[in-house]
Amino acid sequence: MADRVKPSTSPAGNSKVVPLRPTNEPAPGDALTDKEKAAEEARAKVRAALHFGGEILEVPPTRWLLTGVFPQQGLGAIYGAAGGGKSFVAVHLAFEAATGGQFFGEPFPRPLRVVYVAAERPADTRDRIEAQAKHRGIPVPDNLALLAPRRPLQIEEHFEHLRYALQEVAAERWGGAAPDLVIFDTFARMTLGREENAAKEMGPVIEAFGDLVTGCGAAFGLLVHHSGKDTTKGLRGSSALLGALDVVLHLSGKRDNLALVCEKINAGPEPLPAFFRIVSEAIPDPEDTGGDGVRALRNVGVCVAGTYREHAEGLEAEVLAVLRDFDGETTAKVITDNCDTKPHLRAVQKALKHLAEQRPPLVEQKGAGPRSRWRLTQPEQLEGLAG
């Protein structure tokens, strides 16, 4: 091609000197190949994604589904020991979200559209939903949906069906609006045949769950998962799962005193723990009428919100008991003098501060300095507290 002649350094060289073009730059009129077009498009995307100085603030900020707990879009997990109450807490969360209630002491901004994917024992989930509604004295909200598959929703075979259910069927029922929160119960049941400890196998699995919630628009997906044999090592399986999650919640304790602790949150500081307990609720048995036309009842567990007071131990429990007995305001010095264990004043002040930080707070401070006074904010919740 004549226009790519190398410039000559000889006096008798070319009369028209044209500098060399970079080898990756096509000559005018040259048609780009598909590969070159793809490369150019990729470079254009990178250039468009670069933000300098104040332009950085034009990037959309984190938006919250539940302030300080769940981002508007992403993946999280709630995990704990087998039989530890994870699914009960997940159903409780589904109701709180669907009714515009609260979780971790934070109110939902509005009633959310929630899909509960019961990949494990859907009949039990159905019963727990009925028991929750009966316990609350409300009908099951229309913006709460249960997906109860007859077979496990494994990645390879059924995720396209799940995608259709989430992105088309649910949206059609809700007037074109997609789900806000999708709960997958359990992660293990939906990944049968995959090696949880292998990062190569977990990578595509995590990508599949991410694509599901991303396809819903702005949705948050919560995986119900198990802890490993060594409960001190967190989530069961490959660290690739932990690294990919935006939020990780750990449930521990006994069923009458459960603590849910946020172990990881990418978008903000970790919220204070939330507390729950599982109580019994009688629901009608659909099959057993008792022979006299009266439908028999059967007991189903229901997760309800607990309080930090029920979880408090040691000095904090003793401080609460002293405040309850005073039935009013008093100083940290007086509280210290009335504790049976005779703690140091600074330890009592630290306990009072921690109790005041709970959501909702159990105590509040009036004034400042050594003469400040403390009072209970929820004295009715301390009935029956040992002290």
Question: Are both 197 and 288 inside the same structural domain?
Answer: yes
Question: Are both 139 and 76 inside the same structural domain?
Answer: yes
The span from the CA of 65 to the CA of 108, in Å, is 7
Extract the tokens encoding 206. 């995590």
Q: Rounded mean pLDDT of the chain?
A: 83
Question: Are both 203 and 133 inside the same structural domain?
Answer: yes
Q: Establish if 26 belongs to a structural domain.
A: no
Res. 6 pLDDT band, cuts 50 70 90: very low
The span from the CA of 66 to the CA of 111, in Å, is 11
Q: Establish if 243 belongs to a structural domain.
A: yes
In tens, the pLDDT along 188-202 reads 888 877 888 888 888
Q: Establish if 52 belongs to a structural domain.
A: no
pLDDT at residue 244 is higher than 80: yes
The residue out of 277, 303, 329 marking a domain boundary is 303
Which amino acid makes up residue 50? L
Question: Are both 298 and 366 inside the same structural domain?
Answer: no
Res. 11 pLDDT band, cuts 50 70 90: very low
Question: Are both 254 and 353 inside the same structural domain?
Answer: no
Class of residue 263 by CB neighbours under 10 A (exposed 0-12, middle 13-18, buried 19+): middle
Question: Are both 219 and 340 inside the same structural domain?
Answer: no
Question: What ranges make up the beta strands (E) of the chain?
Answer: 64-66, 70-71, 74-80, 102-103, 106-107, 114-118, 144-147, 181-185, 220-226, 247-254, 257-265, 274-284, 297-305, 330-331, 363-366, 373-376
> Could you tell me if 348 and 315 are in contact, meaning their C-beta atoms sit under 8 angstroms apart?
yes
Question: Are both 342 and 199 inside the same structural domain?
Answer: no
pLDDT for 5: 47
Q: Establish if 222 belongs to a structural domain.
A: yes
In tens, the pLDDT along 36-86 reads 888 888 887 777 778 889 988 988 899 999 999 999 999 999 999 988 999
Q: Establish if 18 belongs to a structural domain.
A: no
Question: Are both 324 and 282 inside the same structural domain?
Answer: no
CATH of the domain at 274: 3.40.50.300
Q: Look at 43 and 245; give whichever has higher pLDDT.
A: 245
Taking CA atoms, 287 is separated from 5, 22, 291, 294, in Å, by 91, 80, 11, 11
The span from the CA of 221 to the CA of 208, in Å, is 12
Q: Establish if 8 belongs to a structural domain.
A: no
Q: Establish if 132 belongs to a structural domain.
A: yes
CATH of the domain at 365: 1.10.10.10
The residue out of 303, 336, 361 marking a domain boundary is 303
Question: Are both 195 and 99 inside the same structural domain?
Answer: yes
Structural domain span for residue 327: 309-382
The span from the CA of 240 to the CA of 350, in Å, is 38
pLDDT at residue 176 is higher than 90: no
Residue 298: Cβ within 10 Å count: 15
Give 83-129 as a DSSP string.
TSSHHHHHHHHHHHHHTT-EETTEE-SSPPPEEEEE-S-HHHHHHHH
The residue out of 274, 303, 332 marking a domain boundary is 303
Question: Are both 248 and 372 inside the same structural domain?
Answer: no
> Could you tell me if 220 and 76 are in contact, meaning their C-beta atoms sit under 8 angstroms apart?
yes
Q: Establish if 45 belongs to a structural domain.
A: no
Question: Are both 173 and 127 inside the same structural domain?
Answer: yes
Question: Are both 315 and 293 inside the same structural domain?
Answer: no
Domain count, the chain: 2
Least-confidence region, from 12-21, 137-146, 209-218, 317-326? 12-21
Q: How far, rounded to the nearest angstrom, does the alpha carbon of residue 266 sit from its chain's CA centroid?
A: 11
Q: Look at 208 and 2; give whichever has higher pLDDT.
A: 208
28-37 average pLDDT score: 74
